[in-house]
């Protein structure tokens, strides 16, 4: 039997990713809290409008735009999630804007380009920008400025089939939202009946030095409410 080994030099990107992940673990007091969300209403909304949306905007309507918009609204409701600790000055820095980093797979590894001022972006703006970042990632043409900054990160392991996971904070941020695969599961409805519903687990890893458990849970519950009733996004609720 062949028991040989092959050694491959780590790319500069992989070395940088490794360094950043360990720095995050060593610096922050990471804690993860979980919530489940019924994706049914969002799936129905997408099914109803996806063809007209693509015809008008020239880009497909995915689920990420809803999560970016829901997260942005929740970040404005709970400012601590969007803030960061400046260890050099022992100050808490509250950002009055929202820049969402979105994890995108590339041939050379995971890259995290930034959607800037998402508080001013529409669903179409988000989908177009993510589509453009995905194209750049595949071509290897993402610039450093595309990935610099960000006040919050969304990582979607669900596209690879992940059911459950605990994402690592992307420094210098204080929290990261992990999306996972949508699976049909039996759920007890308010009327006591049992129905098969498309459910997704959400994970929020946060820096406990900056964010209290109450704020983390309130943030996740806010996202859940907006995804399960997308009308709330239109009404700024």
Q: Cite the active site residues.
A: 208, 212
Strand partners, 196: 186
Question: Residue 227 contacts by C-beta under 8 Å, 6 or more apart in sequence?
Answer: 37, 38, 39, 41, 42, 66, 67, 70
Measure the CA–CA gap between 4 and 7, rounded to whole angstroms: 10
Question: Residue 193 contacts by C-beta under 8 Å, 6 or more apart in sequence?
Answer: none
Measure the CA–CA gap between 118 and 123, rounded to whole angstroms: 10
Neighbouring CB atoms inside 10 A of 40's CB total 16
């Amino acid at each position: 039997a062949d028991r040989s080994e092959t050694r491959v030099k780590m790319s500069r990107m992989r070395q940088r990713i490794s360094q950043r992940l360990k720095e995050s673990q060593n610096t922050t007091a990471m804690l993860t809290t979980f919530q489940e969300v019924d994706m049914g209403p969002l799936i129905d909304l997408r099914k109803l409008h996806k063809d007209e949306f693509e015809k008008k905007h020239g880009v497909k309507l995915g689920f990420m735009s809803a999560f970016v918009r829901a997260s942005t609204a929740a970040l404005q409701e709970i400012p601590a999630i969007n803030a960061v600790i400046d260890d050099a000055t022992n100050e808490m820095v509250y950002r009055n804007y929202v820049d969402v980093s979105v994890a995108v797979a590339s041939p050379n590894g995971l890259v995290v380009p930034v959607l800037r001022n998402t508080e001013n972006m529409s669903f179409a703006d988000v989908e177009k920008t993510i589509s453009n970042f995905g194209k750049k990632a595949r071509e290897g043409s993402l610039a450093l400025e595309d990935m610099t900054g960000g006040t919050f990160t969304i990582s979607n392991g669900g596209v690879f089939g992940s059911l459950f996971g605990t994402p690592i904070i992307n420094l210098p941020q204080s929290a990261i939202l992990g999306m996972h695969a949508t699976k049909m599961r039996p759920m007890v409805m308010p009327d006591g009946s049992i129905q098969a519903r498309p459910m997704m687990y959400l994970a929020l890893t946060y820096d406990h030095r900056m964010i209290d458990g109450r704020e983390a849970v309130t943030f996740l519950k806010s996202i859940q409410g907006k995804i399960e009733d997308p009308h709330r996004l239109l009404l700024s609720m």
